[in-house]
Amino acid sequence: MESPMKVYEALQWASSFLTEKGRDANAGELLLEHFLQMDRTRLLSNLRMVLPEEVQENFRKAAEAHAQGVPVQHITGYEYFYGRKFIVNRDVLIPRPETEELVQGAIERIRRHFGKNRCLKLADIGTGSGIIAITMKLECPNLSVSASDISEKALRVAKKNAKALRADARFIQGDLLRPFLARGETFDIILSNPPYIPKRDRTSLSVVVKDHDPETALFGGEDGLDYYRRFMEELPQALNGSALVGFEIGSGQGDRVSGLLRAAFPGSRVETVRDINGHERMVFCMK
C-alpha cells in the first residue's frame, strides 16, 4: 500500500490481508469508514475515490494493528449499541450485539409485568461502558436508572457516555449490589451482564478478547457462575415485592442460572431465552 490507492483497492487489500491473518475481512471497511468519516452508504458510493496519503497510511497501520489482535473498537474508540455510539477503551468490555437482546427482552417484560408509564427504579450491575443503563433510560424515560461497577476507570467511561447521549443515570462505584444495600435502596428491576466465562475456557478465546477486554469483565470463576451465586445472596435484599431480574448468560448456563433464581425466589416465573443465533443468552425472573 505505498502508491496512491482508491477506496475499492484499499478494501480489497485489507480483506485479503486480514483474512490471511485470521481476522474478520469486514474490519477493513469499518476502519476506512472511520478514517474517512463516512457511513457505509457514502463509502460504497465513493469506491473510485483516491485516498489521501495520510488516510492511507493511518488505514494501513490500523489494519496491521488489528491483524496483531487489537480490536477495531480500540482503534476507532467507539462501538454502536442499540443504534447509538458509545465510547469504549481497554477499561471496559466492548459491547456485543447479544446484549441488545437482553435490553429488548427487558423492555418487553417491563411493559408486560408492570404495565406502561409506571415510574420504576432500575439498577444495572457491572455497568462497564454504561450501555445497558443508558439505553434503558433512553428507551424508557420514566425509569429511574442507577448503575454500579467495581472499576473506577469503567465508571469514567460510562459517565462520559451518559453525558454525550444525554441520559440521566446515576453511577456508583462498588461491588455488585453492595453500594445500594449499604444505602438501604431497593429496585423494581435489576439487570446485569456479569462476567460468565469459565476460567478453563481462557485458552480458547481469541486474542482480540482475552488480551484486550478487561479480565474482570470476562471470567466468572472455574465454572463461570461465581457472580450469579453472589447475586442470589444479595438480590433478596435489593428487590421490591414485585420485581424483574434479567441476566445475560453464557451458552449452556441456562439451567443452572435458572435453578439458582428458582431457589432464591420460589414461586417466581423464570425463563431462559435464546439469542438470534439459537444460543442460551438470557435468563429472566419475574417475581
129 within 8 A of 95, measured Cβ to Cβ: yes
158 within 8 A of 128, measured Cβ to Cβ: yes
The residue-averaged pLDDT of 248-275 equals 95
Is 128 annotated in a binding site? The answer is: yes
pLDDT digits (tens, 9 = 90+) for 147-195: 999 999 999 999 999 999 999 999 999 999 999 999 999 999 999 999 8
Q: Helix or strand or coil: residue 5? A: coil
Secondary structure (DSSP) of 223-250: SS-HHHHHHHHHHHHHEEEEEEEEEE--
pLDDT(47) > 90: yes
pLDDT of residue 153: 95
Is 195 annotated in a binding site? The answer is: yes
pLDDT(14) > 80: yes
What's the mean pLDDT when you consider all of the chain? Answer: 92
pLDDT of residue 2: 64
Q: How confident is the model at residue 199 (pLDDT cuts 50, 70, 90)?
A: confident
Q: By percentage, how much of the chain surpasses pLDDT 90?
A: 82
The residue-averaged pLDDT of 61-82 equals 94
Question: Which residue is it, cell 441476566?
Answer: 247
The residue-averaged pLDDT of 33-58 equals 95
Is 149 annotated in a binding site? The answer is: yes
pLDDT of residue 157: 97
What one-character DSSP code corresponds to residue 202?
G
CB count in 10 Å sphere of residue 119: 9
141 within 8 A of 164, measured Cβ to Cβ: no
Quick one: angle between helices 131-139 and 97-114, nearest 10? 40
Is 196 annotated in a binding site? The answer is: yes
The residue-averaged pLDDT of 112-124 equals 86
pLDDT(281) > 70: yes
pLDDT of residue 210: 65
- Distance of alpha carbon 19 from alpha carbon 5, whole angstroms: 20
pLDDT digits (tens, 9 = 90+) for 218-252: 777 788 899 999 999 999 999 998 999 999 999 88
Which of 108-122, 124-138, 235-249 bottoms out in mean pLDDT, i.e. has the lowest? 108-122
CB count in 10 Å sphere of residue 110: 23
Q: Judge residue 117's burial from the number of C-beta atoms within 10 Å of its C-beta, 0-12 exposed, 13-18 middle, 19 or more buried.
A: exposed
Nearest to 77 by CA among 126, 136, 35, 128: 35
pLDDT of residue 118: 75
pLDDT of residue 219: 76
Is 129 annotated in a binding site? The answer is: yes
The residue-averaged pLDDT of 200-206 equals 72
CB count in 10 Å sphere of residue 30: 19
Our separate counts of H helices and E strands in the chain read 12, 9
pLDDT of residue 1: 53
Q: How confident is the model at residue 44 (pLDDT cuts 50, 70, 90)?
A: very high
The residue-averaged pLDDT of 28-56 equals 95
| Distance from chain centroid for Cα 128 | 8
pLDDT of residue 193: 95
- Identity of residue 191: L
